[in-house]
Amino acid sequence: MSDVNKLDNKQCSFDPEQYKVKVDDTVAPVGSFPWAMIQVYLGNLVYRSEWDVPHQYLKFIPKSTGGDGENIPPQIWMINKGEEQPWSPSQDDLTSCDWSLLELSVFDITSAYSNKTVFSNAEIWGYIVRSTSPLGSLTNIVRNKDIAEIEAFCWERYQKSDDSYDFNFMLFFMANKDKESAQRLDNLIANKTLYVMVDGVAYNLGTNLINNSDDYEYEIYIKGSEAQKLGTILMQMAETKSKKRFYCYWH
């Protein structure tokens, strides 16, 4: 497959040759409206550059049967700050080339605390299931299609050999057990910036993160001031036994 033609500006140049199926080319230029619709029908989430990420995006709703027994055809819906409604493109949507995939996971977490986990000399705040002593709870709202399960979303404080303390934000997850999902996740972690949004504030956790992966299991450890802020939130949540909604996305 040859490199796809990704345009630099918002407006597409309408060369019909770009949209024809060729032996060594893709059907539509990446970022174009036709490309975005293909992605939606494949089950992906898409958005435009000027939209309010991660709150505003499109998704595909399969056909269904209404309460009155009538068939409801497949539709594309816009999600906008929790509100969902059928979507129709504007003229600007049709002619723009600023469409992108939204690699998004949304989940509710009830944070908890433990100093008795599989990690020796460590205290944990948040949610973890990959442990002899699981803690907290997580409810999926929107799943990234390549992630089978989120196994840890937590803040760790551990004692080092010199008796000083260090800290990590830990994100563990299991990929779908196919090579394509693993490859897409590898590319995301290496090339995109990870953001976590909570209470309307987005925290930039960086690009090309430390990733220990083995047999479709991913372990990401993050340090820094933005990770520390998330850790403080998880600690406060554990103390008050409260639940919050987190938006985790690569952009």
Task: Look at residue 171 in the predicted model and tell me its pLDDT.
Answer: 93
Query: Which pair of tokens denotes residue 108?
Result: 């509710």
84: number of Cβ within 10 Å: 11
Task: Look at residue 32 in the predicted model and tell me its pLDDT.
Answer: 94
For the chain, domain boundaries: 16-101, 103-250
Rounded-to-integer distance, Cα 57 and Cα 35, Å: 15
The 3-state DSSP class for residue 121 equals coil
pTM comes to: 0.76
Rounded-to-integer distance, Cα 200 and Cα 144, Å: 20
Q: How far is CA 208 from CA 92, 145, 226, 242, in A?
A: 34, 21, 15, 32
Rounded-to-integer distance, Cα 111 and Cα 236, Å: 9
Query: Which pair of tokens denotes residue 196?
Result: 């976590």
Rounded-to-integer distance, Cα 11 and Cα 29, Å: 12
Rounded-to-integer distance, Cα 34 and Cα 101, Å: 13
Task: Look at residue 1 in the predicted model and tell me its pLDDT.
Answer: 44
Peptide bond into 54 cis (omega under 30): yes
Using CB atoms within 10 A of its CB, is residue 229 exposed (0-12), middle (13-18) or buried (19+)? middle
Task: Look at residue 18 in the predicted model and tell me its pLDDT.
Answer: 52
Task: Look at residue 5 in the predicted model and tell me its pLDDT.
Answer: 47
Query: Which pair of tokens denotes residue 135?
Result: 């803690």
pLDDT tens track of the chain, all 251 residues?
444 444 455 655 545 455 454 444 457 888 999 999 999 988 889 999 999 988 899 999 888 887 788 888 889 999 998 789 999 999 999 999 999 988 889 999 999 998 876 666 788 999 998 766 788 999 998 888 889 999 999 999 887 777 778 898 999 999 888 888 888 888 888 888 999 999 989 999 988 776 677 778 888 999 999 999 999 999 999 999 999 999 999 88
